């Protein structure tokens, strides 16, 4: 059934041609537009997507802008992907609203849209494969509170205030502190675009402006790595909690510079988006969200097989 449907689509729009000149009339084409590719997190998502693509005999591409601040560049990539008449589409939106006009075009063309990592403010995506970021950030807040004695000043460095991951991780952390840990004061919330150098400068400025600060939460890989650099260069002793994994974060946790972090399941996210796209092409009904899970890790449990399986380099 799926093969006949896709052959029919290919006849209507012309066979897809790869860089090698091979045709893909019998092979579904599913472009995945991510928020970036510079972080190890996205390479792990790509790996999971490629595993699923091989299992399902579909062709994918995986691309994202150079930095997670380049919303316009991502929109251009999305537009170019739609111009290739894909059978389905995966999108991790940098801006939860900016992508909607193009996603409406996909919907009008009956191209199933699967959101991953970061959803959009629309019901166009058939499902969203993502971490429950509100709950994950709330856990980070609880860990921070425990480690600083449930009182004191804390700063937050977030990758952006436009994507659902940025919004939900910020709000999950802030709301948990307000409701469960009222003696902790959030002295600053800053945005570093997921760039480790910019986030490092933010951390140093935050520490200088708030000499009594006890902790910093970095809401994604680049934010956490940058905060670690800033803390190290400032010489300040404080509790640093991150989000995501990667070589540098794991080294910082093992050295004691970073207390711990929340890890997602990026390989699982990548597999979920391609699995979901294939199900959509078969006409299967999808849940509105797929929670791909999260875990707290620190140097006491990094060798636990369940945790090690979702850490990445």
Does 187 lie in the same domain as 110? no
| 3-state SS string for 122-158 | CCCCCEEEECCHHHHHHHHHHHHHHHCCCCEEEEEEE
Q: Are residues 104 and 22 in the same domain?
A: yes
6 occurs within a structural domain: yes
Q: Residue 212 belongs to what domain range?
A: 133-263
Q: Are residues 248 and 210 in the same domain?
A: yes
In a domain, 303, yes or no: no
Q: Whole-angstrom Cα distance, residue 10 to residue 294?
A: 39
Q: Please indicate, yes or no, whether residues 153 and 233 belong to a single structural domain of this protein.
A: yes
pLDDT for res 24:
45
Query: What average pLDDT does the structure give for the chain?
Result: 92
Angle at CA 42, nearest 5°, toward 112 and 158? Answer: 100
Residue 299, in any domain of the structure: no
Q: Both 37 and 67 in a single domain? A: yes
Q: Using one digit for the tens of pLDDT, what is the confidence trace for 208-236?
A: 999 999 999 999 999 999 999 999 999 99
Query: What is the number of domains present in the chain?
Result: 2
pLDDT recorded at residue 1: 45
156 and 233 share one domain = yes
In a domain, 310, yes or no: no
Alpha-carbon distance of 181 to 140, in angstroms, equals: 12
For 172, other C-beta atoms within 10 Å of its C-beta total: 21
Same domain, residue pair 123 and 137:
no
CATH code of the domain covering residue 23: 3.40.50.2300
Going by C-alpha positions, the residue among 7, 6, 8, 31 that lies closest to residue 18 is 31
User: In which band, very low, low, confident or very high, does the pLDDT at 38 lie, cut at 50, 70 and 90?
Assistant: confident
63 DSSP assignment: E
Do both 43 and 77 map to the same domain? Answer: yes
Domain boundary among 243, 263, 283: 263
Give the residue-averaged pLDDT of 85-101: 96
**C-alpha pair distances (Å), 185 with each of 28, 155, 239, 243, 254:** 51, 9, 14, 20, 28
Whether residue 305 is contained in a domain is answered as no
Tell whether 97 is covered by a domain.
yes
220, 237: one domain: yes
- Integer Cα distance of 155 and 120 in angstroms: 27
Q: Which of 218, 245, 263 is the last residue of a domain?
A: 263
Within a domain: residue 234? yes
**Do 223 and 147 have their domain in common?**
yes
For residue 37, what pLDDT band results from cuts at 50, 70 and 90?
Answer: confident
d(CA 236, CA 122): 43
pLDDT of residue 28: 96
Nearest to 226 by CA among 214, 240, 238, 239: 240
Whether the per-residue pLDDT at 106 is higher than 90: the answer is yes
Q: Give yes or no: residues 11 and 106 share one domain.
A: yes
- Does the structure show a pLDDT above 80 at 181? yes
Whole-model pTM: value is: 0.85
* Count of CB atoms situated within 10 Å of the CB of 298: 16
**Bridge partners (DSSP) listed for residue 90:** 32, 114
Residue 298 is assigned to a structural domain of this protein = no
Q: Are residues 255 and 187 in the same domain?
A: yes
């Amino acid at each position: 059934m799926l093969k006949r449907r896709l052959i029919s689509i290919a006849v209507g729009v012309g066979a897809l041609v790869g860089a090698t000149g091979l045709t893909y009339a019998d092979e579904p084409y599913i472009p995945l537009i991510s928020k970036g590719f510079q972080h190890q997190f996205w390479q792990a998502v790509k790996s999971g997507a490629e595993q699923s693509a091989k299992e399902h005999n579909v062709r994918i591409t995986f691309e994202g802008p150079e930095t997670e601040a380049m919303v316009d560049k991502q929109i251009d990539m999305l537009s170019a992907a739609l111009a290739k008449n894909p059978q389905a589409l995966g999108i991790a939106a940098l801006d939860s609203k900016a992508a909607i006009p193009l996603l409406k075009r996909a919907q009008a063309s009956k191209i199933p849209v699967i959101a991953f990592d970061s959803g959009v403010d629309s019901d166009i995506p058939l499902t969203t494969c993502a971490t429950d970021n509100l709950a994950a950030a709330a856990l980070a807040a609880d860990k921070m509170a425990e480690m600083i004695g449930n009182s004191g000043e804390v700063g937050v460095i977030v990758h952006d205030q436009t994507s659902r991951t940025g919004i939900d991780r910020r709000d999950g952390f802030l709301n948990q502190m307000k409701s469960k840990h009222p003696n902790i004061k959030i002295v600053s919330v800053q945005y570093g675009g997921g760039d480790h150098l910019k986030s490092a400068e933010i951390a140093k400025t935050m520490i200088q402006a708030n000499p009594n600060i006890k902790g910093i939460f970095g809401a994604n890989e680049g934010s956490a790595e940058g905060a670690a650099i800033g803390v190290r260069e400032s010489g300040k002793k404080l509790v640093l909690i991150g989000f995501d994994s990667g070589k540098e974060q794991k080294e910082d946790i093992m050295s004691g510079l970073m207390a711990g972090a929340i890890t997602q399941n990026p390989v699982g996210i990548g597999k979920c988006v391609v699995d979901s796209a294939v199900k959509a092409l078969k006409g299967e009904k999808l849940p509105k969200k797929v929670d791909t899970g999260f875990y707290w890790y620190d140097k006491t449990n990094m060798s636990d097989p369940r945790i090690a399986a979702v850490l990445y380099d």
